[in-house]
Chains A and B, each alone.
Chain A
């Protein structure tokens, strides 16, 4: 009898365990359905890795919204994918990190949902260049990441740091420069306009653009390398093979910290500040979560976290930030930046590109 009881019990307990197990297995599905989530597109590679490691886990901890990060391909491929998916009512990512030029291009097809700025607690503290607006004033994007391109030099070759972008034009620097190979990523027209023509407004007219091109043509004999691939220039800068050029401020700072003989200088005309926005696809249904995300990302503490861990320049005014002076200097500067004329790379893209190519190839 006891034997039978034992068997019965064990049978029952086995059954019970089975039911319990089934319940446990079913639970996460129910939980997951209630859990909030957001798909966020970030530039693949370094940015995605740093965000996955330092930023997204903190966001989930603070808000309970899980992030599924999607690596964006380079160039405008992601814009094209978002546009085509949105036509089919799909959003491969709800929010995406989008270059300024691509943000403007997406505006032309109303690809971005207007954002409700009342939901961003620190909206008033954003620097003006990090609010991207439609022509009628609706907000299309909020600054996500920003970085500086500055004048970099090899310290063994140049004992004194240059102070102005006009060093690029100096005849003494013949065949010594490494510059980015495209008008739309080197922003040298803007540098020319700011250094010699009183500001980037000089590029408003075609005559102004022609004048900037003519001035820029004088730089050509000084250029040894027009690079598309960053590794190509970084290596040459470190070795002193190409001792001067334009490069990323944060990366150069890291290399200097590693003991490489390089330095990054903010010229008196300002460093070039390039940036990307957070934009929300019109096909996305996660409007609330997206606003929560942008609000979170625009907090001074999170901007500080990004500056320290990802190396991006803060999108907020300096006085609200908790960055120490040396932390701020590692990613930004108090000298007013040269802000690229992204509008030109949309409205006059082909003409500028053609002139640029003829300038450097011809």
Chain B
């Protein structure tokens, strides 16, 4: 197929709709948010249009720095856990028959229909002392008495990985299904064990997919604000929780906007760095 450079305006027409959507649903709201982040906060009322840096200055403290750091680390950890679990799982899934795959995929899709609230409350029951899984462990003699597994960092991590896992699998699935089977056959013919072939052939072949998935889950996890509240202690609250507090409970829109802008910029920078590192390695 020969590609011709677009000549007339009409050749660009297919781009108009996505561009319009991007402007209406991303550029405009994000610009408003940036504008509000420079507005002046009036504690007795609302905010007035202005151009001040107070909101950013308030954010630049070790306190908010550590909350931001925690949010980023949590999101990275969720992304890594999800990919570590989902990648081998999806790989093995693609080796099953069509019917088995369909059942699994439908099951995973149905998990997506659960809201964050339901997931949070379900895990908080499962992790509770009075009705949780530790009662099962006691029943089968693994533990002496039931304990509460929440609130804790591990409860938050579990909830968030559970929530993000179906997305991870659904993103990895198409790439793994399309993976050329001859690659593996060649590896096996040359004497590699299945495990070795998986790590030395399949994984490097899908490096870009894995990086893209990591980024997607990272961004997805960064926005989470309900699960850390339901399953964690205040020290496990993400920056998104504090943004919600400011926006909804303190009606401090300028400060909430400044925090949100900061979060978006930092995550964009991290995503950019990841892509940059990926490109360099590819060039070698």
Which positions in A face B, CB cutoff 8 Å? 74-76, 79-80, 83, 104-105, 108-109, 181-182, 184-185, 224-226, 228-229, 232, 236, 239-241, 346-350, 353-354, 357-358, 360-362
Contact = CB atoms under 8 A, between A and B. Distances in A.
A228 B251 contact: no
Given A239-B128, A241-B148, A349 B46 contact: no
Contacts of B242: 357, 361
Contacts of A185: 249
B112 to A, nearest CB: 23
A241 B63 contact: no
Contacts of A348: 43
B44 A108 contact: yes
Contacts of A361: 63, 67, 234-235, 237, 242
A224 B58 CA distance: 29
16 contacts: A74-B248, A75-B248, A76-B251, A79-B251, A105-B45, A182-B245, A232-B230, A239-B131, A241-B130, A241-B148, A346-B43, A348-B43, A353-B245, A361-B67, A361-B234, A361-B242
A357 B246 CA distance: 11
B252 interface: yes
Sorted nearest first, the 3 A-B pairs with minimum C-beta distance are A76-B251, A108-B44, A360-B234
B48 to A, nearest CB: 12
B85 to A, nearest CB: 28
B129 A241 contact: yes
A349 B130 contact: no
A239 B130 contact: yes
B177 to A, nearest CB: 41
Contacts of B121: 232
A164 B229 CA distance: 28
B251 A362 contact: no
Contacts of A347: 43-44
Nearest to A107: B44
B131 A362 contact: no
B264 to A, nearest CB: 21
Interface residues of B, number: 28
Contacts of B248: 74-75
B4 to A, nearest CB: 52
Contacts of A346: 43-44
Contacts, number: 68
A228 to B, nearest CB: 7
Contacts of B67: 361
B234 A226 contact: yes
Interface string B114-158: 000000010010001111000000000000000010010000000
A360 B245 CA distance: 13
Contacts of B148: 241
A346 B251 CA distance: 11
A225 B67 CA distance: 19
Interface in B215-274: 229-230, 234-235, 237, 242, 245, 248-252
B49 to A, nearest CB: 14
A83 B58 CA distance: 27
Nearest to A350: B43
A105 B130 contact: no
A349 B230 contact: no
Contact of A350 (B41, B130, B229): B41
A182 B129 CA distance: 26
Given A240-B130, A361-B67, A350 B245 contact: no
Contacts of B58: 354
B128 A108 contact: no
Nearest to B230: A232
Nearest to B67: A361
Contacts of B249: 75, 182, 184-185
A362 B67 CA distance: 9
Contacts of B41: 350
A241 B125 CA distance: 10
Contacts of A240: 130
A105 B44 contact: yes
A8 B281 CA distance: 98
Nearest to A227: B229
Contacts of B237: 361
A225 B228 CA distance: 12
Nearest to A106: B45
A360 B241 CA distance: 13
Nearest to B236: A361
B43 A228 contact: no
B128 A241 contact: yes
Given A182-B249, A228-B229, A80 B151 contact: no
Contacts of A362: 63, 235
B44 A350 contact: no
A23 B63 CA distance: 72
B131 A75 contact: no
B128 A349 contact: no
A357 B130 contact: no
Contact of B252 (A109, A232, A239, A350): A350
A290 B213 CA distance: 59
Interface in B169-190: none
- Could you say which of A108, A182, A241, A346 has the most chain B C-beta atoms within 10 Å of its C-beta? A241
A357 B245 contact: yes
A349 B63 contact: no
Nearest to A175: B148
A79 B229 CA distance: 27
A143 to B, nearest CB: 22
Nearest to B246: A353
A195 to B, nearest CB: 22
Nearest to B44: A108
Contacts of A74: 248
A182 B128 CA distance: 24
Interface string B38-54: 00010111100000000
